[in-house]
Amino acid sequence: MKEKNSIDKWLESSFEQTAPVNPDALWESIAPSLPSKSNKRVLAWWLGAAIFTLGLGIALLLTSSQDSSIKPLENNTALNKTNQKKIESPKNANIQKDQKTSTTDNINNNPVDQKAENQKLNANKSNSISVVENKNTSQETHSKSRKKNLLNNTNKGINKGKEKDLPKDAKPTETQLIQFYSIARKISPSSNDLKEIIFGNLVTVPPFVTTTNTNKGDNNNNSFSSWTFGFSSGLNPSNIKSVIEDGLQPYVHQNYLKRKNEGESALFSGGFELYIRKHFKSFFIESGISRYQIGYNQNYNYDINLIPITSALFGNQPDANGRYPLDDQTPYIQASNPERISYSNKVSIGVTEIPLRLGYEIKLGKWQISPSFGAAYSFSNAFNAKTIDYQTLELIDFNELYLNSNTNIISGFTSLNIEYNLAKNLFIQAQPYYQKQLNNSSEVIQNKAIMYGINVGLNFKIAAK
């Protein structure tokens, strides 16, 4: 007892002194791994960007809905007033350039062209009018005066054939306006421009005028510089090619490797994505936020009859998770009574991902094929998950095994999205993909996992200018 106390006291007394330390060097080695405001800022920026994207999407969606809302034609007094104006001499029909704008608009009521067009229209027994618009018409500015003049022209055109029969308060019917729009659109492909010129704030915009990208196959022009907002959801059978053992080979128990392939079922995930897509003709850039759950089963039966002898006894250094390398030179003890351990375990990991995708849309009737590629930032967490310790073969907490796991993953991916238009705005899709991690999984596992699989699900999307 005396001996015990003396050693203990000697140790205690020794450790009352302080060991020499270089605090500056120590701090410099520790500081980079500590939580910092900048990390929080990065997260805040990501969240802010995601919220902004969603907010922008909703705002544009609402704006788009308001734009396409139908107002009763009769209630539009502005149009009635315009229609009530007496048609003046032909020279007043010249559309004057807006002096206040620097636009290159040069809209003329060319008598010759108008006559020719009217003849054509009259031949079709139509009351439609004609507008000849220069190709270099700007989409940027449209003054009220131009609208007014155009409407005057419109009225003149409509009234031209029936001027004598028309009542004083005659106005174009919705059908007439639609007919006019369809003709004018052939002349100027800029449908949005025409929509504003013809309908402006004066009349109801018929539903067909809205530029909903419903995959009709003829909207390539309309899709230029437009937006799509969508929600997709589905299931995703997939596989991880770069299995964990690639990076853990020196560390794992023999039986772990042997049983791994027998006992682990394929990866399966399901989730949803909110996204926003900006179109540039047929090209697009897309981002959003997705959340999906990865799950897989572990079913193992281990006969623990070999126990490796490791530790610093052999001069080894532990890894970041406190585990020592095992290799061909590692001695194993043969246990006299092998221990049978059976596991049936489900691992569930939630992943939030923010992708940035570039792609190209190919439309074939109701089909749409979109090859794309991009990068994604994701962060994950395991829910009550347990897994097999690759050295002790014990069932342990997932986060304990991956003590220093990197849950912030940057990955690159490529995919081919094949969609079929089921109904207005609703698509069914299949999306084979290939995704590779660009950073390491953890300090221990120096590998970059490869995932590949296929997303199968529904995609609801709305387009807007």
**Under the rule (CB under 8 A), what is the footprint of other proteins?**
2-4, 6-8, 10-21, 23, 26-27, 29-31, 33-37, 39-40, 307-313, 318, 320-324, 333, 389, 391-392, 394, 400
DSSP letter at 222? T
Could you identify the residue written with the tokens 């970059």? 448
> In angstroms, how far is CA 103 from the centroid of its own chain?
36
CB of 403 to other proteins, least distance (A): 9
Nearest to 411, CA basis, from 226, 277, 242, 216: 242
Paired with 456 in beta bridges are 235, 430
* Nearest to other proteins of 257, 307 (CB atom): 307
CA distances from 46 to 40, 284, 288 (A): 10, 21, 11
Could you identify the residue written with the tokens 């049978």? 340
CA distances from 461 to 67, 188, 390 (A): 18, 28, 45
| DSSP helix/strand/coil, 195 | helix
* Tokens describing residue 328: 């061909």
Contact criterion met (CB below 8 Å) for 323 and 251: yes
Which amino acid type is present at position 174? Answer: E
Strands 450-464 and 362-364: unpaired
DSSP letter at 299? E
Strands 227-240 and 450-464: antiparallel
* Nearest to other proteins of 194, 445 (CB atom): 445
Q: How far apart are CA 340 and CA 344, in angstroms?
A: 13
DSSP assignment of 76-90 equals: -HHHHHHHHSPP--G
Contact criterion met (CB below 8 Å) for 368 and 222: no
DSSP letter at 97? P
DSSP letter at 243? -
Q: How far apart are CA 203 and CA 72, in angstroms?
A: 8
Could you identify the residue written with the tokens 């395991």? 382
Evaluated on CA atoms 351, 352, 357, 361, the torsion sign reads: positive
Q: How far apart are CA 242 and CA 344, in angstroms?
A: 23
Q: How far apart are CA 426 and CA 144, in angstroms?
A: 38
Contact criterion met (CB below 8 Å) for 332 and 341: no
Which amino acid type is present at position 429? Answer: Q
